[in-house]
Amino acid sequence: VYLLFQALRQISQRAISTASRRQAENRVPEYQKLFQEDNGLPVHLKGGMKDALLYRTTMCITVFGTVYAIYHLVVSSMPKKQQ
């Protein structure tokens, strides 16, 4: 048990110490230029194909949810048939 704990501690220390040395590239100026460009696209679609796919998926889920809710409202407003 002690050896397992020691090994896990060593792995976690190694992962933490190496993660802090990596420097992330500052990409803010790139994104500022991209989003401020006047190309006729709305801001939520300027990210490219990934943004368009996410937008369309969200719209499909929203439309399906709205139709589903309206269907259940109509069904629940109808009286049940008496047998």
Residue 35, phi then psi, degrees to nearest 5: -80, -20
pLDDT tens string for the chain (83 positions)?
Answer: 788 888 888 877 765 555 555 678 999 999 999 999 999 999 989 999 999 999 999 999 999 999 999 999 999 999 888 87
Cα distance between residue 16 and residue 8, in whole Å: 12
Where exactly are the structural domains of the chain?
Answer: 40-78
Ramachandran area for residue 40 (φ above 0: left; ψ -120 to 50: alpha; else beta): left
Q: Which one-letter amino acid corresponds to residue 71?
A: Y
Entry pTM: 0.58
